[in-house]
Structure 1
Amino acid sequence: ARYVLEGSVQRAESTLRVTVQLLDAKDGTHLWAETYDRELSAANIFAVQDEITEQVVATIAGVYGVISRARFSEVKEKPTESLDAYECVLKVVSYYSDNWDAAEHARGRDGLERAVESDAGYSEAWAWLCHTYLDEYRFNFNPRPDPLDRALAVARRAVASDSTSQLAHDSLAQTHFFRREFDAFLAEAERAIALNPNNAGILVSQGAYIFQTGDERGIALVRKAMTLDPFHPTWWYFPIARYHFKRGEYEEALAV
């Protein structure tokens, strides 16, 4: 295994301390560590176990988690034409976490189009390609004709390649949202969330769009996502700021 998760458990009366660290087995690099202190009782022992497990998994394995960020630095400097399909996906995710602009969009889109040519069954590559097509529409990045039709086609390919992929259903949900097909959007959003209710990246994307339909339950999803993944990009704050602005809470919006 490339990454090794180690931990220890200590207990003093009713206080439980769990210490966890993540190492890169390739070179022994220490990537992350955290200590969790919880009050423990017979009534909450399983709830505490589940809470800490969810937090650790989201922190290290989320789309913007510790492992992804460690890999980002490995692929960022590599020319797109030298990347394999997985590295193309990873590079696009790294751009979304940091500096997504028209130039990076063009390189990312080209890389993903090559990725699905070389591996037509790679659901995540189809899903991220959908996002780059949506960006032609929502950000006017390197627009080509019919971006929403192309986005719908590749999102459906993502789902067809892996019907259990959250990212595939997430991409299809977002496409329906921008096509103003809101019933289909909500159905796909609920399906994406149900596949893993603790995937912070899915929670924030679907929560933000659910909120834009007028349903304030979306904000609870965004807040949960931010709690699960402390390494999230700064743009995750935007739905919270928009929520306060919509309610006339301008000071709170500015604070966010």
Structure 2
Amino acid sequence: MVVVRALASWQRRSLCATRQRRGAGNELLRQFSLKAIEADPNAQFGYIAMAWSYRNDAVFWHKQENNPDEALKHAAEYADKALQLAPDDANAHYAGARIHTEAGEVEQAIARYDQAIALNPSASNVLAGSASPLLFVGRIDEAIDRIKQAMGIDPFHPDWYHWDMGWALREKNDCEAALTAMRKMSRIPSGAHRMLAGIHACLGNQREAK
């Protein structure tokens, strides 16, 4: 199935170290997604993948001719189309939730996450991802609980679960536990150092924070 190749290619390349290769993976994701839509325009799968590709453009690799807001607009259109075709598809709601989060539409994001979780409560990535909008509105304990649930479902979960747990515990002012969570990551990505700096500052570790 073409869309499976698309998503598999994106997931594989997203683990690569270089921004260039990850960007190439996103372009390939879009090409395969368009083929999936052409092959079956009444199936939701290609539209979900297209929504992700434009979301990725907005967050990571937006081209100069397409600003992030425009990319998110396209992402939302594809996610909405997927939901029209398959309103009971948890992955369609998940894609919409992520796009609402990136757009700053927090309440809509929470509603989409809740629907996705209701449809597929075993999806650890959806549970962990839902912590972000919950933290934005101060529902810290709920966010921590969902990350813990996600970790319990998938003991081989990716490092970003620890990153989000560190963020949540920092919001709870439990900076010792936040630092412990961050140190569980197998590799600290560049974007996580800002979070680490705040945690060290919270602990009074001025040298490490600097």
Secondary structure, aligned partner of 1:152: helix
Deviations along 1:160-213, one digit per CA (max 9) or x if unpaired, are 332222111011112122222233222211111100111112111122332233
Structure 1 251/183 Cα, relative in aligned 2: closer, same or farther at 3 Å? closer
Aligned mate of 2:172, from 247, 253, 256:
247
**TM-score, normalized by length of structure 1?**
0.60
Are residues 215 and 104 of structure 1, via their aligned partners in 2, closer, same or farther at CA, if it must alter by over 3 Å?
A: farther
- Cα distance change, pair 116–91 in 1 and its aligned pair in 2 (3 A): closer
1:88 aligned to 2:6?
yes
Q: Summarize the Cα distance change of 1:100–1:149 in structure 2 as closer, same or farther, 3 Å threshold.
A: farther
**Would you say the 8 A contact 2:34–2:46 is kept in 1?**
no
Residue identity matched to 1:181: E
Question: 1 CA distance for matches of 2:53 and 2:86?
Answer: 19
2:58 to 137, 140, 150: 137
Contact 1:102 1:142 in 2 (8 A): no
C-alpha displacement at 1:118, in angstroms? 1.8
Q: Percent identity?
A: 20
The SS at the match of 1:99 is: coil
Alignment of 1:48-67 (within 5 A): none
TM-score (normalised: structure 2): 0.72
Could you tell me which residue of structure 2 aligns to residue 154 of structure 1? 78
State how far apart, in whole Å, the 2-side matches of 1:213 and 1:95 are: 33
Contact 1:204/1:236, CA 8 A, preserved across alignment: yes
| Runs of 4+ with deviation above 4 angstroms | none
**Which secondary structure state, in structure 1, belongs to the residue aligned with residue 130 of structure 2?**
helix
Deviations 1:70-113, CA, capped at 9 Å, x for gaps: xxxxxxxxxxxxx93321111212344x3375323322322222
* Secondary structure of residue in 2 paired with 1:164: coil
Q: Aligned residue pairs: how many?
A: 172
From the superposition, tell whether residues 137 and 118 of structure 1 become closer, same or farther in structure 2 (CA, over 3 Å).
Answer: closer
CA distance in 1, matches of 2:160, 2:58: 19
1:164 and 2:88 correspond: yes
Write 1 or 2 for the structure with the bigger share of helix.
Answer: 2
Residue 124 of structure 2 contacts residue 154 of structure 2 at CA under 8 Å; is this kept in 1?
yes
Partners of 2:86 and 2:116 in 1: CA distance: 12
Rounded to whole Å, the distance in 2 between the matches of 1:182 and 1:142 is 22
Counterpart check, 1:117 vs 2:117: no
Unaligned regions of 5+ residues in structure 1, if any? 1-82
Alpha-carbon distance change, 248 to 187 in structure 1, aligned in 2, over 3 angstroms: closer
Paired residues of 1:203 and 1:222 also in contact (CA < 8 A): yes
Aligned to 2:129: 205
5+ residue gaps, structure 2, are: 182-210
Which deviations, in whole Å up to 9, do the C-alpha atoms of 1:16-61 show, x marking residues without a partner? xxxxxxxxxxxxxxxxxxxxxxxxxxxxxxxxxxxxxxxxxxxxxx
The structure-2 alpha-carbon separation of the partners of 1:204 and 1:100, relative to structure 1 and needing over 3 Å to count, comes to farther
Question: Which structure is larger by alpha-carbon Rg, 1 or 2?
Answer: 1
